[in-house]
Structure 1
């Protein structure tokens, strides 16, 4: 799913909220698969791949029922604000600041996009990837504080049967986490893992159900808030 920077931006503006569907353009990998092909004798369809486009907004925010009744009202408010920002993104009315980076001596490259409503930062999109892996972070803010964050990490490998023209097929492995915050406190987390095969149809990201994660009080969940602080300041790179 390696795309050019302009393509990433275009896809983000039409992304249809919070599950990432991977197709043949998306890549993931495991180097120890039994079915992995000898890459010295096959043609790779992934040779031009760069870091991926983020998932569409329609996929990013799932609609699974909220099991914890104490958080239902808060989640409803989060979904409403998310929908409001989605509309502004689709209309192209938010001011955009873009910062691209390329790591010297390393195949990693990426992009940080920050969207502003007037002078308020409201959406952050960070994408980066290298030869066989990628990650995407999307953060939505209100009153300078994040209320929702989506993380996607993936990698790809060659695998499966060869195509008739001798080219290799690929397998993508994707992990997604969704975090819902209320005044800086995590109130809900959803997670999912899935894979896609270039030679067959499997349920893609949006069709794979999320799993509810039990929230542990006062635990720093994967450092979400620290990296949001860095993104606010434009700290990205290698």
Structure 2
């Protein structure tokens, strides 16, 4: 989970559940402040993680994620009064954007020429209502170019594991056909990764990377469906300060 380059001058990292201070069932690197975990432990985990990535702990933006399609530009952290939204973007160097997950998809965007990065939390509702296309559009309106962007679609519940009722699959596929899936057991499912990839392609983002780990299958990651109550991992993205 060491930082890697998403695009020239832009770094990202995806955490796992290990290396923090939280006790079971949030053990141990729980970064989710809306869980029932001890909040001081969550803050300590966030501090430890930021320092591990070479980031200032007070220069990380955390969203109050509510499964919306709301996007906002940020110039710094909000602190305890973060608005309810599920995507943010910035042009501020060294300001890390974090998207939490535990079956929902964290999605990161980077335009190295515009020196702009974005992060979204895209669960079932956010995917169907278009949080990722909204983020692409917001960044493009400010001067980014979708064709120059690199996207990273992070770990999430895969289409072979994300079982849903047949009516939910039908209603979801009516909005975004690519999410229609079937589990290994032959039951109705949703493939959010396929849906998000299709949305990015339609938005003009052609360079899409995947961390295709399934949160339900991979016990190094938190999974709400597998283990609730449980913690949250995070995907971070930031503009590396120029020398």
TM bucket by the smaller chain?
under 0.3
Q: Kindly indicate which of the two structures has a greater share of residues assigned to strand.
A: 1
For normalisation by structure 2, the TM-score amounts to 0.27
Q: Kindly indicate which of the two structures has a greater share of residues assigned to helix.
A: 2
- Bigger-Rg structure (1/2): 1
For normalisation by structure 1, the TM-score amounts to 0.27
Greater relative contact order (Cα 8 A, min sep 6): structure 1 or 2? Answer: 2
